[in-house]
């Protein structure tokens, strides 16, 4: 197991204009650097540990937060966060994100990265987040209720993948010149866009462009994993949407149900295996059938020809 580095980060409360900042903190030179950029009303933290080379390197640090809405993007490496009083950890795999509300509780974070670690984190005071969500009555009311309960809240039980559109928004956010006089306006526009995209498929239905991107990602995923044990529920969670939108959208876009497309991929693969000389029994097993006759019936129904007709 790699060496564990401990880093203590303390939040600073600033009463004037409800601003929040965090102290800069440096890790040991061999571990990397924690870079903090200060922004009135919210803070943008970039944890970039690309200098970590060991495959089993870990970094563990603790935080004590004021009430805070956090949006975190795991761009490289993985992060496991345990929040005080919460039974399950928040896990961010590489290229995933999540949104949570921390009601002033402590947390322990363990970061791991075989080829480096890069995490982008945005934190908002409750007041600031309600200002930013004022454009959406649904979002605004949902978070007002979260703040009223004052319990830890996690938007996605399983952190979804960062979509290409969301990744582009994050990239634009990172390129903002915070020394510019227009930084505040540019930042607010970027944050509004990011908040909408981060919540699509949860409190609201995905936008047409976002839904189209999700469907393309799902289709590509099925083409690589069609032999796996898949369900609409697991796919919806994996790609940050809901079962209804996935089921309806996939059929409208591709002319097949999700499972109809999986079946098509399996039958085409079965045909290729038969033409390559594999036995019917072996192909049936590989396609997930317990009995060869069930496979033969499905194959015949699909192609109009028995499997034996494709044997060389």
Instruction: Report how far apart, in Å, the C-alpha atoms of 275 and of each of 21, 51, 224, 272 are.
Output: 65, 50, 21, 5
Give DSSP secondary structure letters for 44-56.
EEEEE-TT---TT
- What pLDDT score does 204 carry? 55
Domain 260-310, CATH: 1.10.10.60
- What pLDDT score does 77 carry? 85
What is 4-160's CATH superfamily? Answer: Jelly Rolls (2.60.120.10)
- pTM beyond 0.75: the answer is no
pLDDT along the chain (312 residues), means of 10: 31 28 39 46 39 46 76 86 89 91 85 76 83 83 89 88 86 71 71 83 63 86 91 82 82 91 92 89 89 90 85 62
Find the largest Cα–Cα distance for the chain.
80
- What pLDDT score does 207 carry? 60
What contacts 65, CB < 8 A, 6 or more positions away?
A: 11, 102, 104, 105, 106, 107, 123
Distance CA 236, CA 216 (A): 13
Nearest CA among 77, 86, 87, 81 for reference residue 2: 77
Instruction: Report how far apart, in Å, the C-alpha atoms of 101 and of each of 44, 90, 155 are.
Output: 16, 12, 9
CB 282 within 8 A of CB 274: no
Pairing of strands 90-92, 33-39: unpaired
- What pLDDT score does 70 carry? 86
- What pLDDT score does 163 carry? 86
User: How do the domains of the chain map onto residue ranges?
Assistant: 4-160, 208-255, 260-310
- What pLDDT score does 268 carry? 92
Distance CA 8, CA 89 (A): 19
- What pLDDT score does 262 carry? 92
């Amino acid at each position: 197991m790699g060496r564990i580095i401990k880093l203590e980060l303390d939040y600073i409360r600033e009463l004037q204009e409800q601003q929040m900042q965090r102290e800069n903190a440096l890790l040991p030179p061999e571990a990397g650097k924690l870079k903090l950029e200060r922004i009135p009303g919210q803070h943008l933290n970039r944890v970039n540990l690309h200098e970590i080379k060991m495959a089993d390197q870990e970094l563990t640090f603790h935080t004590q937060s004021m009430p805070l809405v956090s949006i975190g993007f795991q761009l490289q490496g993985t992060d496991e966060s345990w929040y005080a009083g919460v039974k399950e950890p928040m896990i961010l795999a590489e290229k995933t994100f999540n949104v949570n509300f921390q009601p002033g509780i402590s947390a322990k974070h363990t970061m791991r990265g075989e080829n480096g670690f890069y995490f982008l984190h945005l934190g908002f005071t409750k007041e600031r987040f309600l200002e930013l969500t004022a454009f959406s009555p649904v979002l605004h009311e949902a978070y007002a209720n979260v703040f009223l309960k004052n319990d830890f809240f996690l938007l996605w039980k399983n952190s979804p993948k960062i979509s290409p559109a969301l990744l582009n928004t994050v990239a634009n956010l990172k390129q903002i010149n915070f020394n510019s006089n227009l930084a505040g306006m540019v930042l607010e526009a970027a944050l509004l866009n990011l908040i909408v995209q981060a919540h699509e498929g949860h409190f609201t239905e995905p936008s047409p462009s976002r839904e189209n991107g999700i469907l393309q990602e799902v289709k590509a995923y099925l083409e690589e994993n069609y032999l796996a044990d898949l369900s609409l529920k697991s796919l919806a969670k994996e790609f940050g949407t809901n079962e209804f939108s996935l089921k309806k959208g996939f059929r409208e876009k591709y002319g097949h149900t999700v499972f109809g497309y999986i079946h098509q991929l399996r039958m085409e693969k079965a045909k290729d295996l038969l033409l390559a000389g594999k036995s019917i029994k072996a192909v049936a097993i590989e396609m997930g059938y317990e009995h060869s006759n069930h496979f033969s019936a499905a194959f015949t129904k699909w192609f109009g020809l028995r499997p034996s007709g494709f044997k060389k």
